[in-house]
Amino acid sequence: MADRALELFLGELPEQWRPAISQIATIWGDAARNEAPEDEEQSANVALLAAIHSVYRMMSSGIQIESLVLPALERRYGARFPVPGGGFGTDRLNDAGHLLRELREILREQLQMSEEELSEWLTTDLDMAELARLSRSGPEPPTAFDPLSH
Amino acid sequence: MDRHALADRLASILQAHYAVLQVAPACLPRLTEQAAFMYIVELYRLQGWSPSLRNLRRGMFVLPGSPAADPWNFSYVCLTRSDPEGWLEVRGNLAVLPLGALQPIRPDVAVVHGGQVPTVGEAPLLRAEPQKPFALPNEMLLVFVEAKAAAVHPALVWSFVGLVLALCPECITESEKHSRRGSILAASGGAASSLSVLENDLKKRSYKVAIIPEIGESLLSLLSP
């Protein structure tokens, strides 16, 4: 059965993305399970991280193309390069930029990474050892009952 | 890490940016195709070809957004060199008819021998039948590119290798052809680890395939002075 946290994340994605992102999460979750069959928590964490990484990469790549690449092409060729069928447009591009910044902020806080470490992780291919390391980083999940806190 | 807390926070961010996420699935593939198109053009420039934009519309380079579009109504890039080897054209969404196939397929980017795609004036004459859409014979195709906005995953490998098989069967060895179902599944498994593993996997299988991750970043580096 799919992990509830992953389901929650997938549920907020556009419908068209869910099958592919879910597939990516499954592949990496299964790979983590193969490496550490007893650690179900780690495989669920790895699956979620892989899904987030993929969504971030996809969005940041599109934003970069529209905001930097197309203007650079315009300068080189002296012609405008409209996106067939339309791109984000200025307002949505700003909104997309905010979205990425907020995602980075949460990831940095949850994974306790520096800005540089986060940038490096988000701009490189997924790697099992790194995912496993990140899945153990940051705050621990709360336990159902902690006698010391009572 | 606290996976549930992370997912909760992410979900609320995604909800707050609902509008932009609704347009992203449609516009990210188009942006990626646009970048892939010009990346190929810049690679040819590096090899000594001179690119020039053709068929602009009011100063705009317009690629076909719809797969059914007639190629003569859209912009393309003409590549020329000083030696007399003829010229090449880079086209978007061009219909190409694989040998023996009845239906054309449309790679996102196609590099073809020059002069094979009719211009607006020639189009009615060169169409075999007025209602039949134009499709270029397979042998005129030199390079084709499939651009995917999504991070690599098995479906991408399936669709790409399927296209290679249709357009360039000689790029796949006999043993691969006979057992391609199994081999493509194995290649899909390779996608699980990383792009470099996938690329090596495809090379080992004799697929003449180049994978360009981060197409925007790669194109920017070619465009920087």
Q: Please give the tally of structural domains in chain A.
A: 1
**Within an 8 Å CB–CB cutoff, is residue B13 touching chain A?**
yes
Q: How far apart are CA A110 and CA A108, in angstroms?
A: 6
- Give contacts of B 17-46 with A, CB under 8 A: 17, 19-28, 30-35, 38
DSSP state, residue A1: -
Q: How far apart are CA A135 and CA A126, in angstroms?
A: 13
pLDDT exceeds 80 at position B161: no
Convert the pLDDT of each residue in B34-87 to its tens digit: 999 999 999 999 999 999 999 999 999 999 877 777 888 899 999 999 876 689
**Within an 8 Å CB–CB cutoff, is residue A3 touching chain B?**
yes
Q: Which of A65-69, B146-150, B175-179 reaches the highest mean pLDDT? A: A65-69
Amino acid at residue number B220: L
For residue B191, the model assigns a pLDDT of 39
Average pLDDT over residues B122-140: 70
Question: A35: domain range?
Answer: 4-132
- Is the Cβ pair A9, B219 closer than 8 Å? no
Chain B residues touching residue A54 (CB < 8 angstroms): 150-151
- Give contacts of B 197-216 with A, CB under 8 A: 213-216
Q: Using 50, 70 and 90 to split pLDDT, how confident is the model at B201?
A: low
Q: Which of A126-140, B17-31, B203-217 reaches the highest mean pLDDT? A: B17-31
Whole-angstrom Cα Rg for chain A: 19
B25-28 long-range Cβ contacts below 8 angstroms, 24+ apart: B25/A14, B25/A16, B25/A17, B26/A85, B27/A62, B27/A83, B27/A85, B27/A86, B27/A87, B27/A88, B28/A58, B28/A59, B28/A61, B28/A62, B28/B149
Which residue of A lies nearest to B52 if distances are taken between CA atoms?
Answer: A77
Convert the pLDDT of each residue in B74-87 to its tens digit: 999 999 998 766 89
- Is the Cβ pair A69, B35 closer than 8 Å? yes
For residue B203, the model assigns a pLDDT of 66
Q: Using 50, 70 and 90 to split pLDDT, how confident is the model at B208?
A: low
Q: Is B208 exposed, middle or buried (0-12, 13-18, 19+ CB in 10 A)?
A: exposed
Query: Can you read off the two tokens belonging to residue B158?
Result: 């399936």
Chain A residues touching residue B20 (CB < 8 angstroms): 88, 92, 95-96, 99
Using a pLDDT cut of 90, give the percent of chain B over it.
36
pLDDT exceeds 60 at position B127: no
- Is the Cβ pair B62, A84 closer than 8 Å? yes
Chain A residues touching residue B56 (CB < 8 angstroms): 79
pLDDT exceeds 90 at position B90: yes
Assigned domain for A19 exists = yes
**B8 C-beta neighbours (distance < 10 Å), count:** 14
Domain boundaries, chain B: 28-149, 150-209
Assigned domain for A139 exists = no
For residue A126, the model assigns a pLDDT of 80
pLDDT exceeds 90 at position B151: no
Chain A residues touching residue B25 (CB < 8 angstroms): 14, 16-17
- Give contacts of B 64-93 with A, CB under 8 A: 64-65, 92
| Mean residue pLDDT across chain B | 78
Closest approach of A3 to chain B, Cα-based (Å): 10
pLDDT by residue for chain A (150 residues), tens digit each? Answer: 579 999 999 999 999 889 888 888 888 888 888 888 888 899 999 999 999 998 998 899 999 999 999 999 999 999 999 988 888 988 899 999 999 999 999 999 999 999 999 999 998 878 888 899 998 887 776 665 555 555
Average pLDDT over residues B144-171: 67
Chain B residues touching residue A72 (CB < 8 angstroms): 220, 223-224
- Is the Cβ pair A62, B1 closer than 8 Å? no
Instruction: Specify whether the CB–CB gap between B147 and A83 falls below 8 A.
Output: no
Closest approach of B223 to chain A, Cα-based (Å): 7
Q: Compare B201 and A76 and report the one with higher pLDDT.
A: A76
Instruction: Indicate the pairing of strand B141-145 with strand B109-113.
Output: antiparallel
- Is the Cβ pair B38, A73 closer than 8 Å? yes
Q: What is the pTM of this model?
A: 0.83
Closest approach of A8 to chain B, Cα-based (Å): 7
